[in-house]
Chain A
Amino acid sequence: MGLLSIIRKLREKEKEMRILVLGLDNAGKTTIMKRMNGESIDTVSPTLGFNITTLDFDNYKLNFWDVGGQRTIRPYWRNYFEQTDGIIWVVDSADRERMADCAQELSSLLKEDRLAGASLLVLANKQDIAGALSKDEIQRVLELQKLTTHHWAITACSAVTGENLLEGLQWLVKDIAAHIYMFA
């Protein structure tokens, strides 16, 4: 987030935030978006491309960019980095086999200059599954405590039950607001 974009944001009447929703395939990104938007989650197909969802939340207008996570289309993530205020990184907590993959993708993502300054919310999704890893275990695998370049938080949640989704979002919006709209 450069100085110029902060000034631009300040001028805008409407307080908008651009939030990028990323993660490996089958993490539950689209299901989370549908759940937050109050839509049915029964027929969510794996995302071929991206979805945009707009939510009004705490007087802010949130624009979510939910980009497909299949391996073939991960190279296209780079096209969505510009002007991002917040990143939601969704983790399939029950997919133990690919936790290392997940950690690697996240760490290479956070090296990206265009995402510098964006707040990071990690959602440890699928906590409704008894075999899921806990929030603390995921925090350790993703090495979040070593992360100094971004504000971050991790929340254990479930898109199926809706548990803790709003709590996570609340943190993200508050954190973004604190460093973008500090003069507003």
Chain B
Amino acid sequence: MASSSSAANATAAAKYWEYFQLQKEAITAMVAQSQDASQAVRELDSSLREAYIFLPPYDLKRFNDDLEELRALLQQKRGGASKKQGFKFKSAVARPSNAVSTIVNTASPSSADLPVAEPTYNGVHMPPAPSTRPSYSFTGIDDRWIAADPLQLLGEDRLQGPTDCELRDISNSIVDLRPISHSLRALNCHRVQNSVVICGPFSGSATVRDSAGCAMVLGVRQFRLENSRAIDVYLFCTSHPIIERSSGVRFAPYPLELQSSQIQREFDATQLSSQPNSFDKVDDFNWLKRQASPNWSLQKLLPSANDWALLDDASRPCTQSLHALIKRMS
């Protein structure tokens, strides 16, 4: 059944696959260095069209998706310069910085007042999960000091068993999840910019995507970072943390300064501390060479006890604490 032509096709497909990966890497590198890669993308596109005859459908779909991604990247780079200027007026809405009680405990998940965009998939309308299922969600927050409240759940307000927490579209804020971390089993962060996220230990996984300029304090079983840059991670992790399509990531152990007796009890309860902390055994999925990955490093200059103490003083304006804890913010 395996005719010689299908074998030849398979070889050609494998060869083309290698060629495509090389080109893709080259284009990504060019874009990163702000060179014009549009010619290279066009060439790749036409080579793909020639390869249509021998590529299996799954590969074809893959290549087309990748190509689309490259075009988007190119577009983003071009649009980047003009976009920036429109983005500058956030300081104009800065709140009076001497407001005494900066603890914003509304935590925003009171479901009714937030117009959450209801996702549809392939035209199928999905009922938003929050309506029936209890989970924590903090979305669309700028310049606030948030301390999560164990009672403010989406959906039912009584919580039976562990749940998950989602942070989405958060900027210039401090999010303190310590009050709820004991009931968490998963934490997903999307698009968190220039913020500090602090969380107690929990027995589950944390994922951070599309974020930049943040400091994150986490005690987890698994840690994943994707498509992010300039993140400081203070971590207790019982498995190898991984980074993917990210750069400028610095790792440090979970700060002793934050290990209050309460947090220590939680470490014991989750049994995380019965395993060694592997915060420094990072795997970079985009760096498979033997030499150290240039995308991450261990953080040498740690924040002082005074810096961490800022997190317990919610009366300060959060910009001040952000400056202290995200040192390289420019």
Contacts and interface: CB of A to CB of B under 8 A. Distances in A.
Q: Real complex partners, A and B?
A: yes
Interface of A: 2-4, 25-26, 42-46, 48, 70-73, 75, 78, 81, 92, 94-97, 99-100, 103, 108-109, 111-114, 126, 128-133, 137, 140-141, 143, 160
Interface in B41-68: 56-59, 61-62, 66
A81 B17 CA distance: 15
Interface stretch (B90-98, B144-152, B184-192): B184-192
Contacts of B59: 78
B58 A130 contact: no
Give the interface centre of A95, A96, A112 by most chain B CB atoms within 10 Å.
A96
Contacts of A71: 226, 244-245
Contacts of A137: 126-127, 129
A128 B129 contact: no
Contact of A140 (B56, B66, B124): B124
Given A78-B58, A111-B57, A130-B162, A3 B129 contact: no
A97 B126 contact: no
A103 to B, nearest CB: 6
Interface string B138-171: 0000000000000000110001111110101000
A132 B133 contact: yes
A48 B283 contact: yes
Contacts of B274: 42
Interface residues of B, number: 54
A36 B192 CA distance: 36
A160 B188 CA distance: 18
Contacts of A108: 58, 61-62
A162 to B, nearest CB: 15
Contacts of B186: 92, 94-95, 126, 129
Given A78-B62, A131-B154, 19 more contacts: A44-B239, A45-B242, A46-B222, A46-B242, A71-B245, A94-B186, A97-B188, A99-B126, A100-B119, A108-B61, A126-B186, A128-B162, A128-B185, A129-B161, A129-B186, A130-B162, A131-B129, A131-B133, A132-B164
A1 B160 CA distance: 45
Interface hub of A75, A111, A131 (most chain B Cβ within 10 A): A131
Contact of A26 (B122, B124, B190, B224): B224
Interface in B224-281: 224, 226, 238-240, 242, 244-245, 271, 274-275
Contacts of B161: 128-130
B207 interface: yes
Contacts, number: 142
Nearest to B223: A46
Interface of B: 1, 17, 21, 56-59, 61-62, 66, 119, 121-122, 124, 126-127, 129, 133-136, 154-155, 159-164, 166, 168, 185-186, 188, 190, 204-205, 207, 221-222, 224, 226, 238-240, 242, 244-245, 271, 274-275, 283, 285-286
B135 A131 contact: yes
Contacts of B136: 131
Contacts of B17: 75, 78
Nearest to A103: B121
A25 B224 contact: yes
Contact of A43 (B57, B205, B275): B275
Contacts of B166: 96-97
Contacts of B126: 99, 137, 140-141
Nearest to B61: A108
A95 B189 CA distance: 11
A72 B61 contact: no
B179 to A, nearest CB: 17
A129 B185 contact: yes
Contacts of B221: 42-44
Given A78-B58, A108-B61, A112-B56, A72 B245 contact: yes
Nearest to A110: B58
A178 B271 CA distance: 44
Contacts of B61: 108, 111
B69 to A, nearest CB: 10
Contact of B283 (A46, A78, A109, A141): A46
A109 to B, nearest CB: 7
Contacts of A160: 185
Nearest to A132: B133
Contacts of A73: 285
B159 A42 contact: no
Given A26-B207, A130-B162, A141-B126, A114 B56 contact: yes
6 contacts: A26-B205, A45-B222, A46-B239, A113-B56, A113-B57, A130-B160
A125 to B, nearest CB: 11
